[in-house]
Amino acid sequence: MQGIYSSKHKLRNSKSELCGGEFVTPFETPQRVEYVLKEFNNRNIGKVVKPIDFGMGPLLKVHDSRYLDFIQSCHTEWQQAGNSGEAIAWCWPSRDTGSSFSPKDINAKLGYYSLSSDTSISYGTWEAALDSANVALTGTKLLIDNNSSAFSMCRPPGHHATRDMFGGYCFINNAAVAAQYLIDSGVSKVAVLDVDFHHCNGTQSIFYNRDDVMVCSVHGDPYSAFPYFSGYVNETGAGYGKGFNFNYPLPPNTGYSVWKRALCSALEVINNYGPDKLIVSLGSDTFKDDPISFFKLDSEDFFDYGYEISKLDVPTLFVMEGGYAVNDIGVNMVNVLQGFET
Ligand SMILES: [Zn+2]
């Protein structure tokens, strides 16, 4: 299995995250991908290639153009407005006023185009996010050209980003961009399986009305976990997408046997759908020592579920999402890949 990596991810190196009423060093650090790359190479999983530049076309198929313009210009506009810190949203359109207007002020834009205040926009964020999407797209191209599986070492992650909102450390929805690119390349059925601890609110919302991309997610019950406002069992799709969205929320302290049962239910649903290609949004924040999550998976469990996914026997693109127990992220992520390859 080939890996795709870009050193441009290091440009995303923000210094501030609002957590527990304090500014802390962000959990989503540049070291994350470096540890994963090191482990991928140590275990000789496969060749590592650099991303190809796909331009803006594939991103515009999934995201609003004004939103992408905003992410691109945000940090500059923020500085021009006289701010010295990093750009953080602090004022949102409230539910009783509606939000159908185009904001002009940078503070209004930040609220309009965001879903949470945890994620700051710092210098280099756009360049890193853009290349993270290229890392996903290059893996997608390998899937199409070689019909082989691949691992896109994406950073920043993507699954929380909606068509026009950033948050949860995500700016461009890499998995959604990859799925759309597959569809636009003539693939008729794609499934996205999200095994990150957090619900993939962005991926769900992007494909919620469609039957050509099935989305299944196993995650921490949003009653107690970010993103709080989506990821419930009764969210099953709408319109043409009715019956093509599946959520498996699980409670705090869920261990591997219960988690695996939910995963196998999702795999059965995907198998019945019969996708031509599979995208796995791979987050290792289900690990027992993850600092911001509440599942209890051990490192060897990642190997086991990689093997379970391989039983689908579908060309698979693994897209890196979350995982914040940095010392263990390499072992856990690569365990999934090695289990898959077994
Ligand atoms: Zn996560």
Q: Is 159 a catalytic residue?
A: no
Evaluate whether residue 260 is within a structural domain: yes
pLDDT at 99: 58
Average pLDDT over every residue of 57-70: 98
133 domain residue, yes or no: yes
Report the C-alpha gap between 156 and 244 in whole angstroms: 27
Give the pLDDT of residue 238: 98
How far is the C-alpha of 81 from the C-alpha of 131, rounded, in Å?
27
Answer yes or no: is pLDDT of 100 > 90: no
Strand, helix or coil for residue 170 = strand
**Rounded to 5 degrees, what are φ and ψ at 163?**
-55, -35
Given the residues 160, 198, 199, 219, the one annotated as active site: 160
Cα dihedral 322, 324, 327, 332 sign: negative
User: Measured in angstroms, how far is the CA atom of residue 162 from the centroid of ligand 1?
Assistant: 15
Q: Is the pLDDT of residue 94 over 90?
A: no
Domain count across the chain: 1
Provide the pLDDT for residue 98.
65
- CA gap 228, 170 in Å, rounded: 16
pTM for this entry: 0.97
pLDDT band at 95 (very low <50, low <70, confident <90, very high): confident
Note down the domain range covering 308. Answer: 2-8+27-58+125-341
Ligand 1 center–CA 322 separation, angstroms? 4
The CATH number linked to 262 is 3.40.800.20
Average pLDDT estimate for 136-156? 97
pLDDT tier at 102, thresholds 50, 70, 90: confident
Asked whether residue 311 is assigned to any structural domain, the reply reads yes
Å from CA of 323 to ligand 1 middle: 6
Within-domain flag for 114: no
Q: Taking 90 as the threshold, does the pLDDT of residue 123 lie above it?
A: yes
Is residue 117 in a domain?
no
SS3 11: helix
